Amino acid sequence: MATDTGEGSGLVFHPMDQFIVKPLFGDGPVHWYTITNVTLWMALGVLGIIALLVLGTSRRAVVPSRSQSVGELAYGFIYKMVEDVAGKDGLKYFPYIMTLFMFIVFANFLGLIPGSYTTTSHIAVTAVLALAVFLTVTVIGFVKNGAAFLELFWVKEAPLPLRPVLALIEVISYFVRPVSHSIRLAGNMMAGHAVLKVFAGFAQVAAISPIAILAVTAIYGLEVLVAFIQAYVFTILTCVYLKDALHPHH
């Protein structure tokens, strides 16, 4: 998927340029510590989270203000998700899951601001998130259950001859988890934003620009939905993996 440059017709598409990481100050190379647009938009996400969950709840009102009730809604939403999916003993890990959810949801929505940079559209970011979940959950599984955690792969309900085969499949699917977990999020974000840019490029042609703008609007609406749904999916899958680690018996 290289940059489309229709130079002959004068149409110029740069749908992937929005994903370029560039230093905020100067033009130098991107070192690991360089302050880049990644830093900016992650920091904005942190500020957004602080604004919602810290400043919004600062009055500690029994009858909540609007921002406080949104914060409480987010809290209750994730708390209930962890409780329902991972069980009561999963609530210990609620702050981690809340951190993941708040980061992803803010990154996704901030990415919808025109001209912004979507941190979660990068596989580097989502892979770290997914690997962190994968490693944490695996460690929790072994610490909590010891070798019994391996029963996750040994399907007791199946007939004995089938079990080794199923075990192989289970092991493979277990190790594929972080891959699908990360690519699902990054892929959704990247594809949506790229499509938005492509349609915005079509808007340069006067004949189809009304349709293109309409399409951009429609896809934008869809992307708003996707931004939340992908954060939700990432979080609930984390809860499911956590449940497997806490209760490996089928």
Partner 1 sequence: MATETPGSASTCVGPDGSAIGLPQLCFDWFPNQIFWLIVTLIVIYFVLTRVALPRIAAVLSERAGTISNDLAAAEDLKAKAAEAEKAYEKALADARAEAQKIISAAKAEMQEEVDAAMARADSEIAEKVEQSQQAIAEIRAGALESIREVAQDTAGAVLEVMGTEAEQAEIERAVAARMEG
Least distance from C-beta 94 to partner 1, angstroms?
Answer: 8
Q: Which of 6, 24, 65, 76 is in the footprint of partner 1 by CB under 8 A?
A: 76
Nearer to partner 1, 155 or 194 (CB): 194
Count how many residues are written for the chain. 250
Least distance to partner 1, CB of residue 167, Å = 29
Among 9, 10, 60, 115, binds partner 1 (CB under 8 A): 60
Least Cβ distance, residue 57 to partner 1 (angstroms): 5
Judged by CB under 8 A, the residue of 82, 85, 110, 129 near partner 1 is 129
Q: Could you say whether residue 91 binds partner 1 (CB under 8 A)?
A: no
Taking residues 217 to 236 in sequence order and writing x for each that binds partner 1 by CB under 8 A, - otherwise, the string is --------------------
Contacting partner 1 within 181-220 (CB under 8 A): 186, 190
Instruction: Please pick, from the candidates 6, 14, 214, 217, the single residue that binds partner 1 as defined by CB under 8 A.
Output: 14
- Mind spelling out the 3-state secondary structure of the chain? CCCCEECCCCEECCCCHHHCCCECCCCCCCCCCCCEHHHHHHHHHHHHHHHHHHHCCCCCCCCCCHHHHHHHHHHHHHHHHHHHHHCHHHHHHHHHHHHHHHHHHHHHHHHCCCCCCCHHHCHHHHHHHHHHHHHHHHHHHHHHHHHHHHHHHCCCCCCHHHHHHHHHHHHHHHHHHHHHHHHHHHHHHHHHHHHHHHHHHHCCCCCCHHHHHHHHHHHHHHHHHHHHHHHHHHHHHHHHHHHHHHCCCC
Task: Indicate whether 77 belongs to the interface with partner 1 (CB under 8 A).
Answer: no
Residue among 105, 108, 119, 226 that touches partner 1 (CB under 8 A): 119
Of 216, 196, 222, nearest in space to 13 by CA? 196
Residues that bind partner 1 (CB under 8 A): 1-3, 5, 14, 16-17, 19-22, 27-34, 36, 38-39, 42-43, 45-46, 49-50, 53-54, 57, 60-62, 64, 68, 71-72, 75-76, 94-96, 98-100, 102-103, 119, 121-125, 128-129, 186, 190
